[in-house]
Amino acid sequence: MTVSELIEVLEKLPKDDMVVVRGYEGGVDEIVELEQARIALNVNEEWSYGAHELLDPRDNADGDDIVRAIYLRGE
């Protein structure tokens, strides 16, 4: 999902609704921070990991498999 697609969806929702992310073991947490990040695409194959990996801000890796992203952090 791109930022543009997310905005389009969010514009249709009630402005006072909470935004949450899945908790570590269960439940949900409120979004407390939004961060611009870079991620490496499709690097994790283990079922318990997300498909992509956040890069350290100091990592200067480059290539077609490195993209910009918006990372929503929970509590």
Answer for the pair 27, 50: CB distance below 8 angstroms, yes or no.
no
End-to-end CA distance of the chain: 22
- Examine the pLDDT at 25 and tell me if it is beyond 90: no
pLDDT recorded at residue 48: 86
40 φψ region: left (φ > 0), alpha (ψ -120 to 50), beta (else)? beta
CA-wise closest residue to 10 among 24, 49, 2: 2
Is the pLDDT higher at 41 or at 57?
Answer: 41
The letter for the amino acid at 8 is: E
